[in-house]
Structure 1
Amino acid sequence: MSRKLVIGDIHGGFKALIQVLERAEVTPDDQLIFLGDYVDGWSESSQIIHFLTELSGKQECIFIKGNHDAWCEDWLASGHTPDVWLFNGGKSTLESYEDYLPEKLDLHLEFFQRMKNYHIDDQNRLFIHAGYASMHGPEREVYSSNYRWDRTLWETAVAMDKKLQRNSELYPKRLLLYKEIFIGHTPTLDIGSRIPVNKANVWNMDTGAAYTGALSIMDIHSKQFWQSDPLPSLYPDEKGRNL
């Protein structure tokens, strides 16, 4: 039976990606939805992009673009390497591309350019890297950068009174738009959790793979999830984004 599986922020941890796909026993019949931030952190960013381009030819994959992916795309397109990117994992991404031929770089650029800002499925579930500020949803977002940078959606869900009902006038309007919302971007480590966290109707899948956490994959129907080993144990000679 086919499944719909959502994957959190990978941040260059190719070994972790392979682990979770194996532990979840992913088959070509499964649909995979990646929430972005494939690169920047651990040493295998280019390997991840190469693997995902090939994987997308074997099964249905949806790739959401994260803020780190936008930085990498900009570098591939223009050669631009802002300090803010280099200091936030971009240096390891550049190093992973050192031996790439120009034609391979072009293929990777096309892959980044095809990524989606967000995805809404046939059950009115939203998949987005970070969030959105508009009470009318991402379709009406004034600043497209919010798709990749917004933290207020998650902060709102975390701060909500657990007793607040969906029919209350106080229930945040932007959370009422979707059956469920799946995000990454803000590590669950920030609120003391190493596993995916559900607040209101928002599921946060960024379990800190860029830092000391693991990479997570979840069946969106059953909510069963699988995790890699903590990334520092997979890359013991590296720091990731643990500055």
Structure 2
Amino acid sequence: MRTYVIGDIHGGLKALMEVLYQARPDPDDTLIFLGDYVDGWSDAANTLDFLMELRQGFKCLFIRGNHDELCLRWLKEGKENPLWLQAGGEATQKSYTGIGSATRKAHIDFLESLQDYYLDEGNRLYVHAGFTNPKGVAHEYFSKNFYWDRTLWEMALALNPDLLSNDVVYPSRLKCYHEIFIGHTALTKIGITVPYRRGNVWNVDTGAAHKGPLSILEVASKKVWQSTPVHLLYPEEAGRN
């Protein structure tokens, strides 16, 4: 049995289907989705339908992303803001055109069921963004940090690569877990389009919301599968992202 980690999808269902076909997980494998299923490309609502159906054949764990929370607020309460609309919310809204109340309710239920994080038996943490408490996620003061924090990744990027984990100045947060898998901050911002490790933190967000591919990483082997750069799968929308 293998464990696969899937990066931020952002409504790019075509990319998700493509990369799952490449990886070919077995029903006994575990698929861990790191969040941000919506906001970006035009298949947001269809992506949620696909993920909900995927649970029927695979063991799936769905982590909450910040965009998923924003979409939930809009679906439940009609709350929106210009920043959300500019950051992919407009495409999500359009994807719900013609979709009835029953499907919307099912999507609300799905988004409300998302996990803030997952900790496996090997002390590996899976979280969308990060956490701030030096004692780990169980001691985090504000749950929103799990899907909004960027300081964990910024800290990992700034680490001296020669610094050992038993050094007195090694960050306490990183000592809590064997490995940490995150999304949230697109690696394309630093010119990288494959999952990338700094310290014991793996970032699997390879920029599917922009001009990067969607990535799947197998936890044990670190083998990677990637889709076509997502903007090429949605050429009529590429200018918007």
Question: What amino acid does structure 2 have at the position aligned with 1:147?
Answer: F
Query: What does residue 183 of structure 1 align with?
Result: 182
**Separation in 2 of the partners of 1:165 and 1:139?**
25
How far off is 1:90 after superposition? 0.4
Secondary structure of 1:237's aligned partner: helix
Change (3 A) 1:120 1:76: same
Query: What does residue 155 of structure 1 align with?
Result: 154
Query: What does residue 172 of structure 1 align with?
Result: 171
Q: C-alpha offsets along residues 7-35 of structure 1, whole Å, 9 cap, x if unaligned?
A: 00000100000011001112222210000
How far off is 1:185 after superposition? 0.3
Query: What does residue 105 of structure 1 align with?
Result: 104
Runs of 4+ displaced beyond 2 Å: 239-242
Structure 1 portions without partners, runs of 5+ = none
Asked whether the 8 Å contact 2:232–2:238 carries over to 1, the reply is no
**Separation in 2 of the partners of 1:38 and 1:241?**
18
Provide the aligned C-alpha RMSD in A.
Answer: 1.0
Query: What does residue 43 of structure 2 align with?
Result: 44
**Separation in 1 of the partners of 2:177 and 2:237?**
39
Q: C-alpha offsets along residues 82-107 of structure 1, whole Å, 9 cap, x if unaligned?
A: 22211110010010011111011000
Secondary structure of 1:181's aligned partner: strand
Q: How does 1:1-243 map to 2 (within 5 A)?
A: 2-239=1-238, 242=241
State TM-score, norm by structure 1: 0.97
Q: C-alpha offsets along residues 163-219 of structure 1, whole Å, 9 cap, x if unaligned?
A: 111110010000000000000000111221110000000000000000000000010
Structure 2 portions without partners, runs of 5+ = none
Asked whether the 8 Å contact 1:41–1:240 carries over to 2, the reply is no
**Separation in 2 of the partners of 1:129 and 1:58?**
24
**Separation in 2 of the partners of 1:28 and 1:217?**
16
**Separation in 1 of the partners of 2:159 and 2:126?**
21
Secondary structure of 1:139's aligned partner: helix
**Separation in 2 of the partners of 1:48 and 1:41?**
11
